[in-house]
Amino acid sequence: MSAGIVFHLLAALAYAVLAVSLWRPLTRDGEQPHAGKVGRICLLSAIILHGIALHQAILTDNGLRLSWALGLSAAIWVGMIIFWLESLILRIDGLLLILLPAVTLVTIVAAAFPQGYVVAHAHNDWLRVHLLIALTAYGMITVAALHAVLMTALDRHLHRPVEQEASRGIISRAFDSMPPLLVQEHLLFRLIWIGFIVLTLAVGSGAMVSMALTGRPFPLDHKTVFTLLSWVTFGGLLVGRYARGWRGRIALRWTLVGFVFLLLAYTGSRFVLEVILQRG
Reply yes or no on whether the pLDDT at 164 is more than 60.
Answer: no
d(CA 185, CA 190): 9
Rounded to 5 degrees, what are φ and ψ at 62?
Answer: -90, 0
Distance of CA 41 to the CA centre of its chain: 21
Reply yes or no on whether the pLDDT at 169 is more than 70.
Answer: no
Higher pLDDT, 5 or 221: 5
- Among 184, 194, 174, smallest CA distance to 81 is for 194
Indicate the SS3 state at residue 106.
helix
CB of 157 closer than 8 Å to CB of 184: no
Whole-model pTM over 0.75: yes
- Mean pLDDT value across the chain: 79
For the segment 218-244, the average pLDDT, to the nearest whole number, is: 87
pLDDT band at 149 (very low <50, low <70, confident <90, very high): confident
Reply yes or no on whether the pLDDT at 238 is more than 80.
Answer: yes
Predicted pLDDT of residue 245: 83
Rounded to 5 degrees, what are φ and ψ at 239?
Answer: -65, -45
For the segment 150-158, the average pLDDT, to the nearest whole number, is: 78
Taking CA atoms, 65 is separated from 2, 39, 54, in Å, by: 13, 33, 10
- Among 2, 104, 114, 89, smallest CA distance to 43 is for 104
d(CA 276, CA 159): 40
- Among 132, 107, 74, 101, smallest CA distance to 7 is for 107
Those residues with Cβ within 8 angstroms of residue 154's Cβ, 6 or more apart along the chain or in another chain? 175, 178, 181, 184
Amino acid found at 207 = A
Indicate the SS3 state at residue 275.
helix
Taking CA atoms, 245 is separated from 149, 231, 235, in Å, by: 20, 20, 14
Reply yes or no on whether the pLDDT at 263 is more than 90.
Answer: no
